[in-house]
Structure 1
Amino acid sequence: MACRKNAYRGMVEASEWNQKQQEERNVILAKEEKEQRLFWTPTLVFDACCTQWLKHGREVYGHTNNRALIQGCSGGCGKDHPRITLDYHNTEGAIAVLSHNLDPFVKYFDSLVSQNLAFCQRKNDNNVGNFNDERCYFLIGYLATIKEKLEQSTTTNFDSHLIKVSPTALAASRRAHERYTEQEELEQEFKRRKVTEQFPVVDNDLLVSVLDVCHQHYSFRDHLDLLEIAWMRISNKIFAKYAAKTASSRIRQLRLSYSVLLEGGAEEEDDHYKDVEDQGRNCYVVSQYVSRSLHTVVSSRLPLTALENHVFVPDDETKEFDFSVNEISSGPRLLIRLYLEDGANTYLSCLPEKDCLYSDLLEVARFYFNPCEIDREGMYTSSNFKYNVTSLTQTDGSKTGKFCIQSFQFDFRDFLGVYVRKKLPKAKENLQEIKKKRPITTKEKEYVKAIAKAARESPGNSQAFQGMKGW
């Protein structure tokens, strides 16, 4: 008897719980319908449409207030499911057909009409007052881009379930735009050749005058990036002359600095493996193999001044650094880091290559040397930098002394190598973004290939910069 009572009580509680859940669901659905009714006007068209479809699309299971809630429409509601159908025809181009004349649909495409990006045609022009009459819009542009703008519009709520486009239509649009871009490139090439044929002889004096004006008024500096200057140097003798001047000017305007670090050091609790240089503190330097090693910062970001022949010297040429090594253990080594300072709030922030090079501090070179290899006082040259050992004392297998940095060699080829290796990933990424919006042109492909070629021909290799600050 007790079991029956418990079973009956359980059935009553379950029934009450289900009824409560249904009431809560009805409240949520009523609230959603009210919100949808305000957005999806006019009422005459909205009443024939499924609210759950407009809000969520196909049926899915969701959660609200830690409770399961079925959202969307299973297809058995008996009401209409409005959507925008995108298609592509070889003669008409991109087409959008509205299944229902809901105001958000109509307003979006009418705004394109007002911008001359589309024109509208009803299936029955004589039945203008009929809300259920399908509208057809002929659109200008690439179908994939049109679809992306529809889904990402901030003024509408057009989720993907409200937009229907077949892969066949997207492929047809892509092929048509590829043919269009190829034809456009051929026409531009034909016009260029026609102009060249009309003026077969170049007036060198006039060309020199024009280039003089461009150089004196900083047109080359403000509008040509390092790659364009490099390509200008190999075009012809006249252009090469002005490109060399511009390249030298770019190098002289650089703001370089250097840091001196010593391998090893006592770990501190607040290090947290950071590559932050504070004089006298620890710094974890990332190698090209992505491993971290502890260094002690002797001096950080000391300024350099540009001289002739692409040589940079310290502002304080007399600044000395101590070293003390044990010849048996062959260490510790010294690390010299060369930085390209950021160009914030300077004229460098206006140059074409500002985003690649001057948006943040950028490490452009590293030089390791082992004091154990020092056997005399005097000048030493090691991998594009010179240092002077001012004092040296050797006792019982150890060496102590002082040295000062004399100069760094950093020419236009080194600078170009840094730039193209920073620019190449950005150019490839930009090419992929263009592919999403429209077919890429031959010139865009060739441009990225030219950057990759310049990177291969530049000094060093891309792995040499791996682990450096700013990369």
Structure 2
Amino acid sequence: AEGKGLLTYRMAGFLPVHAEKLSSRFGSHLIKVPPAALAASKRALERHLQSEELEREAKRRKVRGAAADSHLLDLVLNICHDHCLLDHLDVADIAWMRLSCKAMGRVAARMASRRLRHIHLSYSVLLDRKHIIHSGSTETRLVSLEEKGDAAYVMAASNIPLFFSDGRFIPRPEICHWEAAKLVEYELQDIVRIYLECDSSIGKIPEHSCLFQVPLEVARYRVDPQKQQGVYEISNMTYEVESNENRRSLWITGVKFDFHNLVGIYVRRKLRQAKQHMQDVKQTRPVTRREKDYIKALAKAAREAPGNAGDFEGLQGWQ
């Protein structure tokens, strides 16, 4: 543009769109575009329009096209499942796999069920009484004490297994109860501690180093000694109480613990390990994008898991 000073005009888009305006008077100036520049811009515009049309056509074909045949994918997934998939995927991988697509979700659901059968829960019981009578015996024994603040607790049962059955963990009938003398002067509550354990007969599973190297307490319940008869529920645990004049017997009838609970515990533990690993890596090299994305995925899974991190504060194995 010619005038008292150099003026600059900025126009968005391709030149042909503004061709008419550029070839006529624009304000008080006449702007000229070289033919070569205008031709190059026209070719660029044509390529752009062709690209948009190809994208629209691809979307139309996808909408009106027939669904892809998933038989081959099902076949491959079933082969992998039957041979090695469970040996290489941890429960977080399985949980993410369930969300990927229907075919993978079906296989992941089977893997989740099998993984639950590879673990079991156990429980220990602390009584607030110094003398207990063991099941099947009339002998009164003084057993080991554990101090809890100002109270003395007795280990009445230890490492009693609970096995997965029909969506929950239940004890075997012959080992599912403990007994204590009815001493009304005690007002403290009995404590039931639930631990996560692994079936040692199947060898190491991918979660072994994260979950099973130390005793890991996953829940703690306080049983009210004033409850003398009936079936009761505390959070995810149900139990039954029978009492007579001198004695009270308690049975754990089941603990609700499913794959989502297992994933929640695992990702919270794994997130701790991954963050520590990242700090160690930073001492030697930059952290990769893949490592950062993995930690973000673990953090997201932990936020969406049942309960919250505060549920495990003070439990054994979470220090």
Does the pair score TM above 0.5? yes
Q: Would you say the 8 A contact 2:261–2:305 is kept in 1? A: yes
Matched, 1:435 2:282: yes
Matched residue, 1:450: 297
Cα 1:308–1:465 change in 2 (3 A) is same
Q: Would you say the 8 A contact 2:128–2:153 is kept in 1? A: yes
Q: Would you say the 8 A contact 1:325–1:332 is kept in 2? A: no
Matched residue, 2:163: 305
- Secondary structure, in 3 states, of the residue corresponding to 1:255? strand
Q: Would you say the 8 A contact 2:74–2:103 is kept in 1? A: yes
Structure 2: which amino acid aligns with 1:387?
A: Y
Structure 1: which amino acid aligns with 2:153?
A: H
Q: How far apart are the structure 1 equivalents of 2:88 and 2:123? A: 29
Cα 1:458–1:263 change in 2 (3 A) is farther
Matched, 1:361 2:215: yes
Give the CA deviation at 1:416.
1.1
For residues 179-237 of structure 1, give each alpha carbon's deviation from its aligned partner in whole angstroms, at most 9, with x where no partner exists: xxxxxxxxxxxxxxxxxxxxx985410000011111112x2210100111111111111
Structure 2: which amino acid aligns with 1:281?
A: S
Give the CA deviation at 1:264.
6.3
Structure 2: which amino acid aligns with 1:347?
A: I
Matched residue, 1:252: 117
- Secondary structure, in 3 states, of the residue corresponding to 2:286? coil
For residues 35-58 of structure 1, give each alpha carbon's deviation from its aligned partner in whole angstroms, at most 9, with x where no partner exists: xxxxxxxxxxxxxxxxxxxxxxxx
1:7-406 to 2 correspondences below 5 Å: 202-217=68-83, 219-263=84-128, 280-284=143-147, 294-314=152-172, 316=174, 319-322=177-180, 324-326=182-184, 331-341=187-197, 346-349=201-204, 351-372=205-226, 374=227, 377-393=229-245, 400-406=247-253
- Secondary structure, in 3 states, of the residue corresponding to 2:316? coil
- Counterpart of 2:264 (choices 400, 417, 437) is 417
RMSD value, Cα = 2.7
Q: How far apart are the structure 1 equivalents of 2:143 and 2:277? A: 42
Q: Would you say the 8 A contact 1:258–1:338 is kept in 2? A: yes
- Larger RCO (alpha carbons 8 Å, 6+ apart): 2
Cα 1:379–1:216 change in 2 (3 A) is same
Structure 2 stretches lacking a partner, 5+ long: 1-61, 132-141
Structure 1 stretches lacking a partner, 5+ long: 1-199, 267-278, 286-290, 394-398
Give the CA deviation at 1:314.
3.5
- Secondary structure, in 3 states, of the residue corresponding to 1:331? coil
Give the CA deviation at 1:315.
5.3
Q: How far apart are the structure 2 equivalents of 1:292 and 1:458? A: 35
Percent of aligned pairs with the same amino acid:
37
Q: How far apart are the structure 2 equivalents of 1:432 and 1:312? A: 41
Q: How far apart are the structure 2 equivalents of 1:385 and 1:401? A: 19
Q: How far apart are the structure 2 equivalents of 1:303 and 1:311? A: 9
Q: How far apart are the structure 2 equivalents of 1:292 and 1:244? A: 47
Structure 1: which amino acid aligns with 2:123?
A: Y
Runs of 4+ that moved beyond 6 A: none
Cα 1:445–1:264 change in 2 (3 A) is farther
Cα 1:431–1:203 change in 2 (3 A) is farther
Say how many residue pairs are matched: 244
Matched residue, 2:43: none
Q: How far apart are the structure 2 equivalents of 1:295 and 1:447? A: 43
Cα 1:435–1:319 change in 2 (3 A) is same
Give the CA deviation at 1:392.
4.2
Structure 2: which amino acid aligns with 1:447?
A: Y
Give the CA deviation at 1:323.
5.0
Q: Would you say the 8 A contact 2:189–2:225 is kept in 1? A: yes
Give the CA deviation at 1:371.
1.7
Structure 2: which amino acid aligns with 1:403?
A: L
Cα 1:371–1:447 change in 2 (3 A) is same
Cα 1:296–1:230 change in 2 (3 A) is same
